[in-house]
Chain A
């Protein structure tokens, strides 16, 4: 029995390893290029040699340059601040709405759900001008609020919570009601702790959304103290000049926080109460 398990694991590992090559290979080349002193883009890509993926001389100068001369550290901090703030607000606000949509049959439910769906079916480009005008009228342009608040209007997060909450057995909540618990208490003390996978997923979702936003920060804020990560990365390309070394190093440095976040949150992908099979 145990050897069968081991063989299965080996087979699984091999399949995963082969598939992951598809994902890793282009990135490995980019990483190698970032660790090389600035050189022609295709120098090591063609023809293919081991040097394509392993620099003969490893240097961190490209990374040092973006942090010391181009203020990349501040861009990262800004994006972290905006992302984390948005996460806090969105998780609370969206989970509350998801709770109502999943567990309550109330007047206007269908309308609210339709509104929730529509909000992520319309592209940002078509609402950017009216949104910008509104931000200006609310006098929050060129502040962190301009970056955070519109991000909280996230229909996808609400939709996700709704789907997850629908799977949580209502009996637990009924029992709590009978015991005299308020709805707020049920939401906070019973529902949320059972929904860690959903919460973690929304955390990553919202983080990625804010972390990857490029156009809105350019429109909503203009002071350099608000510069976000994607703007810093995008600035290395233009018709007149593209600095591949800076582009690669900032893209890699800029992708580390999301990856670390994902890695860290893995441990919360644990089975909720339904997962453990404990039911009424």
Chain B
């Protein structure tokens, strides 16, 4: 660590200016919004934390939404991280087919979340979709997928894993490049197996990348809702009603910016808590 305030600030100021202007300022405005109630004529009244207390105590859909969101996150985050890590580990070599498969896994990311949602909606059509055609081909029963309260959330989870794994794989691949080849060679001389090399060398040296992927992925998954907007609209019967979708409806349909901002502030708090835990768990145990 170098000590030089002037130099450090010189390097920080350009990015910080952008962040303050285009992110922090609007975020601040949005947070103030959560402390107000806007009448439909546009008149704003300061109401303190009333929007929040209403959400926690009286809002009929908030708690269901909250738990759906937590369950979704707790399942989808590890799934994505593990699958993208596995992909990166498998594709860390330099076989002739490595580049090909990396690109194949990356393909779904090249399509926007919205279009991916449309594709999954039609592929998982409960009666005539491609997925059910495959199932019936193998003699299995066709599934309702997004039209079942039991399966809809899993549908969203798998959609997300399908689309995002290739993306986070890229970050892990980048992180893997930083691991000295010499360490693997030394281990091989000592007779270490692939599994041992992975757990003793690769994973520990990937902690910084891992913490990045964990934190960023957590944030993304709490804040994105395109599949809900396009396919399930929160249903069936509230089983996929993510908090971010509730916030979105409040902002753009109900024109209730107070409630919308209160929900996103709550989401920010949740994300910060999760991130704090994740950063703790993946603390780099050494320093160069």
Contact = CB atoms under 8 A, between A and B. Distances in A.
Interface of A: 9, 12-13, 15-16, 19-20, 22-27, 29-30, 41-42, 45-48, 52, 92-94, 96-97, 99-101, 103-109, 112, 115-123, 125-131, 134, 149-150, 152-153, 155-156, 158-160, 163-164, 166-170, 173, 183, 187, 197-198, 200-201, 204, 208, 211-212, 214, 230, 233-234, 237, 247, 251, 254-256, 258-259, 262-263, 266, 269-272, 274-277, 279
B237 interface: no
B3 A259 contact: no
B40 interface: no
B140 interface: no
A169 B182 CA distance: 16
Top 5 nearest A-B pairs (CB, nearest first) are: A127-B26, A277-B182, A97-B15, A106-B8, A277-B180
SS class of chain B's interface: helix, strand, loop or mixed? helix
B162 A22 contact: yes
B244 interface: yes
Contacts of B114: 214, 230, 234
A100 B11 contact: yes
A275 B247 contact: no
Given A160-B171, A168-B288, A270-B177, A46 B128 contact: yes
SS class of chain A's interface: helix, strand, loop or mixed? helix
Chain B contact patch, size range:
35 or more
Contacts, number: 296
10 contacts: A12-B90, A23-B107, A42-B129, A45-B129, A46-B133, A115-B16, A116-B19, A125-B247, A208-B167, A259-B106
Contacts of B137: 47-48
A274 B101 contact: no
Given A130-B26, A262-B103, A97 B268 contact: no
A218 B222 CA distance: 24
B192 interface: no
A254 B288 CA distance: 42
B128 A16 contact: no
A122 B123 contact: no
Interface stretch (B44-52, B147-155, B207-215): B207-215
A112 B248 contact: no
A256 B29 CA distance: 38
Contacts of A94: 15
B264 A212 contact: no
A256 B107 CA distance: 9
B107 A97 contact: no
B132 A46 contact: yes
Given A197-B173, A269-B174, 15 more contacts: A13-B97, A20-B104, A48-B137, A99-B11, A103-B1, A106-B4, A115-B19, A117-B215, A122-B23, A122-B223, A125-B260, A130-B26, A153-B21, A197-B177, A263-B103
Nearest to B161: A22
A201 B52 CA distance: 39
